[in-house]
Amino acid sequence: MSTTKKISEDQREFDDNRGDDSRRPSPAAPPIAVRPLRHMADLDYSVVQQCMHCGMCLPSCPTYLETRQERNSPRGRIALMRAIADGNLEVTKEFGEEMYYCLGCLACTTACPAGVDYPKLFEHARAEIEHQGVLFTPERAFWRWLTLRQIFAKPWMLHAVGRMLYFYQASGLCSLVRKSGVLRLIPANLRNLEPSTPIVRCHFSAELIAEVEKPANTGHRVGMLTGCVQDLIFSEVNRDTVEVLLANGCEVVTPRQQGCCGSLHAHNGDLEQAAVQARRLIDQFEIDSLDAIITNAAGCGSHLKHFSHLLGHDSDYREKAAKWDGKVRDISEWLVSTDFRKPAGDAAAQKVTYHEACHLCHGQGISRQPREILKAVPGLELVELENASHCCGSAGVYNITQPEQAAKLQQEKVACIQRTGASLVATANPGCHLQIQNGLGEAAVVKHPVTLLAEAYRAEKAGEATP
């Protein structure tokens, strides 16, 4: 199947004009609003035609299993997209709501024998929905502008917001606010989320990781992606990743102020900004000097590997993006492919179970490698999780936009975890990490597999120091 995408000339100009990250259109280009973007119509027809509606995807789809209605299934959604491409259906509010009811978990991609490129269809459908504004409300537009075009578009702003949140949480202001009842002033869906706001770390990645870190004996030279959420909330996972890489003879290069990779934008219908984010990220790495570019967040990884799809029409970046795609590796993928060093020593036995982040197993086809890492950690006994590859309901911002469905999936996940009797859950994506930890409460601890490996290396070192 062809993976080429046709982007209209208008779109190309439009994207090129946006390279400077300015919101003001250049004098040569008319204002954005009159640009005829046609995300669905311009999609190569063979991508929708690839679906032969056999129904094999139905049992994998969390929303179909919930409602048993065809429109809430992958083939149903593709049928709607095909109807739009054929001119038999307009992009309607109903279609918009349907595409935002989809989790984008990509379980259907794994289930599909026909090889339908659902991620591409999903992103283009959402982009078209945003372009046509069928879901427009002033409130929604404000939040989208604030998050996609401001906070997650500008690394300095993300850090500033992170600092403010840290201060709010660490100073005790947080509990004061909760007691004061001020929270009643904000909308209920956001208020309900407040208690599960993740704890921002005191130190962000750049404070924990030097720009270049070298091991005693260098084998490979790799770039390190620090992410956005990972950078603020799980900066220690980034540190652990670097330590594991160092322990395996990798020189690690970590550019400062990386910001969001744009997966958040692409998954939420803002392909233009996603392209801007991608270009910025590419510019920060000397791709040719690196053996691999390492990510430890599944949601980012499955997006980072497809920059050439996003920038394929951009003559300045097309080649760079192709090179980039070829070098991005998930940390577990990299470690297993380079035959990582198994830590020695013994530790108290502990049961661990593994939740497969959707964008690792379905998005990148990485399933075996994280388990191999867990099996290599002394003391850990891996207990398989029932429905390990079912979505936990985090799905990017799904738990904010569709709290009800997200909560159902969270409860199902927690119930499965509890049946394993494991006190430790490993997962490799910040969204899943938070969603599952919030669901579990005190019942079990969630950790990134790389953290468990880093801990084992540290224990090994401590054991050597005190024989």
Partner 1 sequence: MKPRRCGYIRGSIAYGMKDSPTNFSPGSPVALRLAEIVGESNVFTCPEDLIPYGFDGTAALKESAVCVVLPRSTEAVAGVIRLAAAEKIPVVTRGSGTGLSGGSVPVEGGIVLCLVHLNRILEVDPANLTMLCECGVITKAVDDAATPHGLFYPPDPGSMKISTIGGNVANNSGGLRGLKYGVTRDYVMGIEVVLPSGEVAWLGSKCVKDVAGYSMKDLFVGSEGTLGVITKVLLKLVPRPKARRTLLASFDTMEAAARTVSQIIEKQIIPCTLEFLDRKTCASVEAYAKVGLPTGAAAVVLMETDGHPAVVGEEAAAMADIARENGAISVEQAADEAHATRLATARRSAFSALARIRPTTILEDVTVPRSRLVEIVSYVEEVAARHRLDIATFGHFGDGNVHPTILTDETDHEEMERVELALSEIVDKTIALGGTITGEHGVGLAKKAFLPRQFDEASYALLKQVKRAIDPHGLLNPGKIFDLGTAH
Beta carbon of residue 383, minimum distance to partner 1 (angstroms, whole number) = 17
Cβ neighbours around 79 below 10 Å, total = 17
Q: Residue 80 or residue 456: which is nearer to partner 1 going by CB?
A: 80
Please tell me whether residue 92 binds partner 1 under the rule CB under 8 A.
Answer: yes
- Least CB distance to partner 1 at residue 182 (A): 38
Kindly indicate which of the ranges 18-26, 62-70, 283-291, 316-324 contains the residues binding partner 1, using the contact rule CB under 8 A.
62-70
Q: Tell whether residue 50 is a contact of partner 1 (CB under 8 A).
A: yes
Among residues 36, 59, 219, 421, which is the contact residue for partner 1, using CB under 8 A? 59
89 in contact with partner 1 (CB under 8 A)? yes
**Rounded Cα distance, 6 and 395, in Å:** 28
Question: In Å, what is the CA distance from 238 to each residue of 128, 154, 254, 266, 297?
Answer: 35, 20, 10, 23, 10
Q: Judged by CB under 8 A, does residue 83 bind partner 1?
A: yes
Nearest approach in angstroms of CB 266 to partner 1 is 21
What is the DSSP-derived secondary structure letter of residue 51?
Answer: -
Q: Does 71 bind partner 1 (CB under 8 A)?
A: yes
Least distance in angstroms from the C-beta of 1 to partner 1 = 7
Report if residue 79 touches partner 1, rule: CB under 8 A: yes
Distance CA 83, CA 41 (A): 11
Please state, in angstroms and rounded to a whole number, the distance separating the CA atoms of residues 356 and 361.
6
| Cα torsion angle, 418, 422, 423, 429, sign | negative
Torsion of CA 170, 233, 197, 133, to 10 degrees: 130
Long-range contacts of 9-15 (CB under 8 A, 24+ apart): 10/35, 10/36, 10/37, 11/35, 11/37, 11/42, 11/313, 12/313, 12/314, 14/272, 15/272, 15/275, 15/313, 15/314
**Which of 113, 138, 172, 181 is the binder for partner 1 (CB under 8 A)?**
113
Where does this chain touch partner 1 (CB under 8 A) — which range of 64-72, 217-225, 240-248, 386-394?
64-72
Residue 127 in the binding site for partner 1 (CB under 8 A): no
Query: Using the rule CB under 8 A, which residue among 94, 211, 386, 464 binds partner 1?
Result: 94
Looking at 21, 86, 194, 386, which residue binds partner 1 (CB under 8 A)? 86
| By the rule CB under 8 A, 384 interacts with partner 1 | no
467 binds partner 1 (CB under 8 A): no
Name the minimum Å distance from CB 26 to partner 1.
29
Binding residues vs partner 1 (CB under 8 A): 1-2, 4, 6, 42-46, 49-50, 52-56, 58-59, 68-71, 73, 75-77, 79-80, 83, 86-89, 92, 94-95, 98, 112-115
